[in-house]
Structure 1
Amino acid sequence: MLKPQDVVLALKLLAKDEEPWSQGGLAQEMSISASEVNSGIKRLALTHLIEHEAHNKRWQVVRPAIREFLVSGIQYVFPAEKGAPCIGMATANAAHPLRGCVPESNITPVWPDKKATQSGFSFKPLYPSVPAACNNDGELYQWLALVDALRDWDNPHRDIAQVLLTEKLSGRRQSESAQEKLRGSNKANHQMDLLG
């Protein structure tokens, strides 16, 4: 059975991309124990979300599988838990890469973090060490912000998060047509807000 920190671990491996890594190094960067990294790798392998590369026996994320899980399953397994106003680190629609693609909201989802300065409402991270892990890894931060947007059943911009996640997984930058669709979606949503 997957644990929330296993999703964070898979996203950390995606953030690492081709960089070499060790379990001890991942543990330090993620602020979790090396044994938890080892157990997480075993659980991810069991669920076929990671596999060994044939030529060097290094673990890699199975991108089609992780996409299917994140787009179709994450909201069922690890739904968003939102709470009271607090200070923290912006996530979901309030963080890059979604922040520039969706209309601004006066309700900012934040991971509670006393070291941060953003005010908003509490959005429980997948694992308590997520804010600390993201302070030193902007790429991991982007992955987790997109995943948080997908975890939130009430998010009207889940479709945009799916597009951005898919493009990020394919390693492509946004195409001109995708950017235009996103801009069109933003305008339509803004017009609907004005009508509503």
Structure 2
Amino acid sequence: MQLKPQDFLVALKLLVWGNQRWTYARLGQALGLSASEAHASVKRGLLSGLLLPNRVSSAVTTGTPGAETQSLQEPQGIYRVTRKRVRSSSVPSENAGTLDNPVRVHAQALAEFTLHGAKYAFPGVRLPLAVGVPTSHSAPAFAGVFAPGGTDFVWPHPNGSARGVGVEPLHPSVPFAAMQDGKLYEMLALFDALRVGKARERNMAAERLLTLIDPGASEPRREKLHG
């Protein structure tokens, strides 16, 4: 099994949604994917450890979206406690949406992969000058951090508002998905800073990404600055 770029994109989107209830149709629509593509990405995310199952009977390992399967099971004792907790209160808890969803994000694993593996699995590719959506240190996430005048980076897109060096997005649907969700946009732009940015930009991006993905983790080791 090999992770695909859209699998990483799906994991980031689920992180942004947090406790919101979702369906494969909604997930796919938000990311410019089909429901079956979203389902396949969740399945690979589970196999890789970036996602964790929420239910004894999970619909994400085999078959089509919505199918039931017993192939991924949490320990019986854990399931009983979870089920009892949900039923014991007539007032929905803040985690009710998470428990209703088939999977949840494994924050520690996603943070580790984002900072130390994803840029090698999905390396940044620079493209010719283009009009597009600002990314890396040119995105709003870096507004006011770096002095103007440096190289701007963009995802080429006909509805873009800036001109700069093109960067091949993680997945073709990234510009669309980012323009629909500011928090997802921030994380994708920060990830591009890891892929194509200089040492200072990479350090800042790594710190911010860790805060967004796994706030309780220790700070990442900083790269040495040269020049």
Query: TM-score scaled by structure 2?
Result: 0.71
1:170 Cα shift?
3.5
Among 128, 137, 147, the alignment partner of 1:93 is: 137
* Alpha carbons of structure 1 residues 120 and 153: separation in structure 2 relative to 1, 3 Å: closer
Contact kept, 8 Å, 1:88 with 1:119, in 2: the verdict is yes
- If asked which structure has higher relative contact order (CA below 8 Å, sep 6+), I would say 1
What do the CA deviations read for 1:141-176 (whole angstroms, capped 9, x no partner)?
A: 11111111112265541111011011112358xxxx
Query: What one-letter code is carried by the residue in structure 2 that aligns with 1:165?
Result: L
* 1:108 match: 152
What do the CA deviations read for 1:2-27 (whole angstroms, capped 9, x no partner)?
A: 00111111111111111111110011
* 2:33 match: 32
Distance in 1 (alpha carbons) for counterparts of 2:215 and 2:149: 29
> Alignment length, in residue pairs?
176
* 2:86 match: none
Contact kept, 8 Å, 1:98 with 1:161, in 2: the verdict is no
* 1:131 match: 175
Greater radius of gyration (CA):
2
1:61 correspondence with 2:62: no
* 2:205 match: 161
Query: What one-letter code is carried by the residue in structure 2 that aligns with 1:29?
Result: A
* 1:82 match: 126
* 1:145 match: 189
95-104 or 74-83, which moves further after superposition? 95-104
47-56 or 146-155, which moves further after superposition? 146-155
Distance in 2 (alpha carbons) for counterparts of 1:61 and 1:32: 19
1:52 Cα shift?
2.0
Say what the alpha-carbon RMSD is for the aligned residues: 2.1
Q: Which runs of 5+ in 2 are unaligned?
A: 55-78, 83-98, 220-224
1:105 Cα shift?
4.1
Point out the structure with the larger helix share.
1
* Alpha carbons of structure 1 residues 155 and 86: separation in structure 2 relative to 1, 3 Å: farther
Contact kept, 8 Å, 2:7 with 2:44, in 1: the verdict is yes
* 1:7 match: 8
Distance in 2 (alpha carbons) for counterparts of 1:135 and 1:62: 25
1:85 Cα shift?
0.4
Contact kept, 8 Å, 1:74 with 1:150, in 2: the verdict is no
Query: What one-letter code is carried by the residue in structure 1 that aligns with 2:30?
Result: E
1:43-54 mapped onto 2 (5 Å cutoff): 43-53=44-54
Contact kept, 8 Å, 1:79 with 1:153, in 2: the verdict is no
